[in-house]
Chains A and B, each alone.
Chain A
Amino acid sequence: KAGVTQTPRYLIKTRGQQVTLSCSPISGHRSVSWYQQTPGQGLQFLFEYFSETQRNKGNFPGRFSGRQFSNSRSEMNVSTLELGDSALYLCASSVTGRGYEQYFGPGTRLTVT
């Protein structure tokens, strides 16, 4: 079974721009979560989607948003990029009822200049 895939793998953007990251979960996984990883703050939960609905949200500003499609694929969007948004953005999928066992993709490395 193919793992979680994320595109693009690397991205460079300028302050003020917006960015959209994409994630394809493992086949059969309906829950998709997004995390931000930085050296200073570590791994932080952004939000989780299930059946095209945002089920949970972490403590991030409204500039961070996401959505999920009927095939469980998910996108996250960051508007008005700030330098502090530079990070590795990780997507993870899980089986219904086993949300603690998440399967992560390789991440998208976003650099904001």
Chain B
Amino acid sequence: GESVGLHLPTLSVQEGDNSIINCAYSNSASDYFIWYKQESGKGPQFIIDIRSNMDKRQGQRVTVLLNKTVKHLSLQIAATQPGDSAVYFCAENRKSGGGADGLTFGKGTHLIIQP
């Protein structure tokens, strides 16, 4: 079936460097693409979303890029800090208008911050 996937299960970066986490999706009908962060022992935490009619969206230290041509989504984290260590999931929402049609999650990338 259609799903949202990530390229790498683990990504290790030096503290202070920029991190780029990638995700490939297959459902062109998705309305929103979202990034969540899950720290050990906690539920996923919303980071940022991007609507399908956008290419780029910026938040605080994070930028999400959407390339619909190749069905690719990425999350860039600037100046990575120890607190950024977590598993990052991309997800898609397939219901138009932002309704909760159930999020489809990718497998997750574990971001490890090296001191």
Q: Which residues of A contact B (CB under 8 A)?
A: 4, 31, 33, 35, 42-45, 47-48, 50, 55-56, 58, 90, 92, 94, 97-107
Q: Which residues of B contact A (CB under 8 A)?
A: 31-32, 34, 41-46, 49, 89, 91, 93, 95, 97-108
Q: List 22 A-B contacts (CB under 8 A).
A: A4-B43, A42-B106, A42-B107, A43-B103, A55-B99, A56-B101, A90-B43, A90-B44, A92-B43, A97-B97, A97-B98, A97-B99, A99-B93, A99-B99, A99-B100, A100-B31, A100-B103, A101-B34, A101-B46, A102-B103, A106-B41, A106-B42
Are A99 and B95 CB-contacts (below 8 A) given A33-B100, A56-B102?
A: yes
Are A99 and B42 CB-contacts (below 8 A) given A43-B89, A45-B104?
A: no
Bound-state Cα–Cα, A99 to B34, Å? 11
Bound-state Cα–Cα, A53 to B42, Å? 27
Please name the residue on chain B nearest to A95 by beta carbon.
B98
Q: Is the CB of A98 within 8 A of B107?
A: no
Bound-state Cα–Cα, A100 to B93, Å? 6
Are A100 and B102 CB-contacts (below 8 A) given A4-B43, A90-B44, A106-B41?
A: no
Bound-state Cα–Cα, A55 to B100, Å? 9
Residue of B42, B89, B99 with most chain A CB atoms under a 10 A cut-off = B99
Please name the residue on chain B nearest to A109 by beta carbon.
B41
Distance from A91 Cβ to chain B, minimum over Cβ atoms (Å): 8
Bound-state Cα–Cα, A4 to B43, Å? 10
Are A98 and B44 CB-contacts (below 8 A) given A42-B106, A42-B107, A43-B105?
A: no
Q: Is the CB of A104 within 8 A of B93?
A: no
**Contact among B34, B45, B98, B100 for A56, CB-based, below 8 A:** B100
Kindly list chain A residues whose C-beta atoms are within 8 Å of the C-beta of B99.
55, 97, 99
Kindly list chain B residues whose C-beta atoms are within 8 Å of the C-beta of A35.
103, 105
Are A100 and B49 CB-contacts (below 8 A) given A42-B106, A45-B102, A56-B100?
A: yes
